[in-house]
Structure 1
Amino acid sequence: MTLQDKFSELDNQNKALLAVNFYNFETLSGVLRAAAAQDTAIILQSTKSTIDYLGLEVTAKLARAAISQYEVEAWLHLDHAQDVNLVKRALDTGYDSVMIDASEQPIEENREVTQQVVEMAKPYGANVEAELGYIAKLGQSKEKAAFTQPEEARDFVEQTGINALAVAIGSAHGFYDKEPNLDIPLLKRIREETPAALVLHGGSGIPDSQIQAAVTNGIRKINVATEVKNGFMNTLRQEVPKSDEIDLRKIFPPAIEHVQSLLEEKIAMINQA
């Protein structure tokens, strides 16, 4: 099943999928263990930073091998690519889905580069995601407001032909300084204007009730990254001082288990929406 078909299935069920970034074998393992334990499909995401660290071919083959090992229905997604050349390389390497993020450019430029990627992805049958509006990235101000407007979303999807659209409705990447407040009425209006699968970025730290309301009102993909990195590293910081072990393979398991537990809870919560 393609990710596009999965989104259509989710739309009929009014459900959503968790999309989780991985950074190494250990975080990848934690993500897939959670999906297997909850008997659910999942989206595995890698960014340019992860690809720079592991290498593109290793990233893709590691993900494919792990998906097979854990026998989970999963798709490999390129997250927040700003370079069309990287998108092409990911498609050539077998990614199921790519995101071209030109959201910080004027909307005309965003539309143009997104159209280019949509045409590029067609021979591969890959899912294409783009972003419209301002969703603060790491280090950027969370005070700036540029929410996605329903009519703009409709026109953008129609003109570009994208399958999925990341919408700005009050979330942000990284840690939140204060509790976020998603604009659910705005999300509902966007959903009424476009058939594209709507994506919630910055899913780490959003209260469960708001995530569930977002799913009920049209979100089909929920991105999580910060909580995985933070929880993994905090667990390692606790474990390393307690051990004289030089075998790193014996140090990682508690951190992997933390990631699994965290994501199992999130998957269960999303499925209750």
Structure 2
Amino acid sequence: MTCKEKLKKCTKDGTALLATNFYNFETLKGLLLAAKETRSNLILQLSESSLNYLGVNPAVAMAKSMLQEWGIEGWIHLDHGSSINIVKECLDAGFDSVMIDASERSLDDNIRITKEVVKSAEPYDANVESELGYIAKLGQRQALEPTSAEEAKIFTEETGIDALAVAIGNAHGFYKQIPHLRLDRLREIRKVTHCCLVLHGSSGIPDDQLQKAVHFGISKINLATETKNTFMKRLQTILAHNEEIDLRKVFPAAIEEVKDLITKKLNVINTVVN
């Protein structure tokens, strides 16, 4: 099943996929250990900075070979692609799903750019995601401008996208206070759109709110900051009390920490019943 087909099925069934970023072999292994243990599907996400670090083709080859070897149904997704060029490069490299983020442009420009990406992705049968509304970036203020249901309807109909990332009180990075998702706005958007709806910035959102988000129409939940932070915090603790220089003896505990985090998130998402 393609990523596009799987997300369509999730949207129809009222379920959701966890989409989480990986940064190296070790974080990828932690994600896949969790997917294996819970018998879950997983979307593996790569940001442009991770692609610059790993290399596009090596990153894809590593992820796809591990998915195959471990017998896990999963897909590779470009997270927050900033240009049509990087989207095309990822499509050529074998990505199953791509995101073009022109959300800081005008609505007309966002529509125009997204339409071009949708057209480029057609020969690959790849899933296309875009963002509409203000979702605060790391270090910025929390989102104050939720996605308009009216604009969401226009945007999805004009572009023909497969997935829409919405702003409903969520933000990238960690929250200074407990977030309160605008489930009323999510419900409105769900009523007037037919594509997969995506929740970015799930790090730190309480479990009950994640489950309610799925119940009211979210079919893809993105997780990045919490994954990276969990790995690094555990690694820092180990190194502060250990003079071990063999990285093969240092990394396993941090990998296990990531596995535990993702296992918990998958269990939260997978228990939603609509």
Structure-1-length-normalised TM-score: 0.98
| C-alpha distance in structure 1 between counterparts of 2:141 and 2:12, whole Å | 36
Farther off after superposition, 245-254 or 44-53:
245-254
Give the counterpart letter for 1:34 in structure 2: A
Is structure 2 residue 146 aligned with structure 1 residue 155?
A: no
Is structure 2 residue 72 aligned with structure 1 residue 54?
A: no
| C-alpha distance in structure 1 between counterparts of 2:210 and 2:240, whole Å | 36
| C-alpha distance in structure 2 between counterparts of 1:78 and 1:188, whole Å | 27
Q: Which runs of 4+ in 1 moved over 4 A?
A: none
| C-alpha distance in structure 2 between counterparts of 1:13 and 1:37, whole Å | 23
Partner SS for 1:135: coil
| C-alpha distance in structure 2 between counterparts of 1:177 and 1:70, whole Å | 38
How much does 1:14 deviate? 1.0
Farther off after superposition, 234-243 or 214-223:
234-243
How much does 1:208 deviate? 0.6
Superposition pairs of residues 95-174 of structure 1, within 5 angstroms? 95-142=95-142, 145-174=144-173
**Which residue of structure 1 aligns with residue 185 of structure 2?**
186
How much does 1:242 deviate? 2.5
Partner SS for 1:178: coil
How much does 1:151 deviate? 1.3
How much does 1:245 deviate? 1.8
**Which residue of structure 1 aligns with residue 82 of structure 2?**
82
Give the counterpart letter for 1:210 in structure 2: Q
Give the counterpart letter for 1:13 in structure 2: D
How much does 1:230 deviate? 0.6
| C-alpha distance in structure 2 between counterparts of 1:162 and 1:44, whole Å | 20
Is structure 2 residue 212 aligned with structure 1 residue 225?
A: no
Farther off after superposition, 207-216 or 65-74:
65-74
Q: Percent identity?
A: 51
| C-alpha distance in structure 2 between counterparts of 1:132 and 1:11, whole Å | 18
Partner SS for 2:194: coil
| C-alpha distance in structure 2 between counterparts of 1:152 and 1:266, whole Å | 31
| C-alpha distance in structure 1 between counterparts of 2:59 and 2:195, whole Å | 28
How much does 1:5 deviate? 1.1
| C-alpha distance in structure 2 between counterparts of 1:35 and 1:256, whole Å | 13
Structure-2-length-normalised TM-score: 0.98
C-alpha offsets along residues 132-154 of structure 1, whole Å, 9 cap, x if unaligned?
Answer: 00000112222x52211111101
| C-alpha distance in structure 1 between counterparts of 2:96 and 2:270, whole Å | 23
Partner SS for 2:219: strand
Give the counterpart letter for 1:137 in structure 2: K
How much does 1:206 deviate? 0.2
How much does 1:90 deviate? 0.2
Give the counterpart letter for 1:46 in structure 2: L
Is structure 2 residue 209 aligned with structure 1 residue 210?
A: yes
Farther off after superposition, 240-249 or 221-230:
240-249
| C-alpha distance in structure 1 between counterparts of 2:145 and 2:103, whole Å | 11
| C-alpha distance in structure 2 between counterparts of 1:40 and 1:242, whole Å | 35
C-alpha offsets along residues 195-221 of structure 1, whole Å, 9 cap, x if unaligned?
Answer: 110000001100111100000000000
- Number of aligned pairs? 272
**Which residue of structure 2 aligns with residue 4 of structure 1?**
4
| C-alpha distance in structure 2 between counterparts of 1:69 and 1:171, whole Å | 35
Partner SS for 1:252: helix
The CA RMSD over aligned residues, in Å, is 0.8
C-alpha offsets along residues 57-111 of structure 1, whole Å, 9 cap, x if unaligned?
Answer: 1111111111112211000000001111000000000000000000011111111
Give the counterpart letter for 1:96 in structure 2: D
